[in-house]
Each structure stands twice: as structure tokens, then as C-alpha cells.
């Protein structure tokens, strides 16, 4: 799945201690949630969206400590660009 802002693939991040997460352009959040739901992946979307230096808003999807980041990345990588 391609990030609508950067035109690069969405990336499941594993840095930090809270577990894997995905930073998603806010307008693309519904599409990413649909993919995660379709594959039965549990997640939580942080309530606040962030915008750095006037850039478009980004939502953070927390996948939880037990999430398999590699498997989720593989799923995102199979989603065709729309």
C-alpha cells in the first residue's frame, strides 16, 4: 500500500517500546483500516492526529506488542496502488 503523501510504501515501524505502529496520512486512514479489518488484524487508532511543520495530518495506528510486524508489512505490500 502506497502512502498518499510520500508516494512510498506504508511502513510498519517497530522503533520504540510500545509495539509496532503505522503512520498514515489522515485521508487514507479508512482505507488502511479496511485492509487491517479484512485480515483480522487488531489495532487501535490514536485519538489525536499530528501535523509537523504544517504538513498534512497523520494518524497513528497502534498494532500492539504482540503484533507480527513482518506479516502486517507483507499484507500492506500486497495492496495494489489505487
Q: Is residue 6 part of a domain?
A: no
- What was the pLDDT predicted at 82? 63
Question: What confidence category does residue 15 fall into, taking pLDDT thresholds of 50, 70 and 90?
Answer: confident
Among the listed residues 38, 35, 44, 16, the one whose alpha carbon sits nearest the alpha carbon of residue 77: 35
Question: How confident is the model over 40-59, as a mean pLDDT?
Answer: 92
Strands (E), the chain: 12-13, 21-25, 44-45, 58-62
Question: How confident is the model over 41-67, as a mean pLDDT?
Answer: 92
CATH code: domain of residue 20? 3.30.70
Query: What's the number of CA atoms in the CB half-sphere (13 Å) around residue 19?
Result: 13
Q: Is residue 46 part of a domain?
A: yes
Query: What's the structural domain count of the chain?
Result: 1
Phi/psi of residue 74, each to 5°? Answer: -60, -40
Q: Which structural domain, as residue segments, surrounds residue 45?
A: 12-78
Q: Are 12 and 43 in contact (CB under 8 A)?
A: no
Question: How confident is the model over 60-67, as a mean pLDDT?
Answer: 94
Cα(5)–Cα(12) distance, integer angstroms: 16
Q: Is residue 74 part of a domain?
A: yes
pTM: 0.91
Amino acid at each position: 500500500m502506497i502512502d498518499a503523501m510520500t508516494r512510498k510504501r506504508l511502513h510498519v515501524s517497530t522503533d520504540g517500546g510500545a509495539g509496532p505502529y503505522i503512520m498514515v496520512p489522515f485521508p487514507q486512514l479508512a482505507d488502511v483500516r479496511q485492509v487491517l479489518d479484512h485480515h483480522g488484524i487488531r489495532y487501535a487508532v490514536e485519538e489525536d492526529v499530528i501535523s509537523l511543520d504544517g504538513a498534512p495530518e497523520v494518524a497513528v495506528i497502534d498494532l500492539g506488542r504482540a503484533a507480527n510486524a513482518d506479516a502486517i508489512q507483507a499484507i500492506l505490500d500486497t495492496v495494489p496502488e489505487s
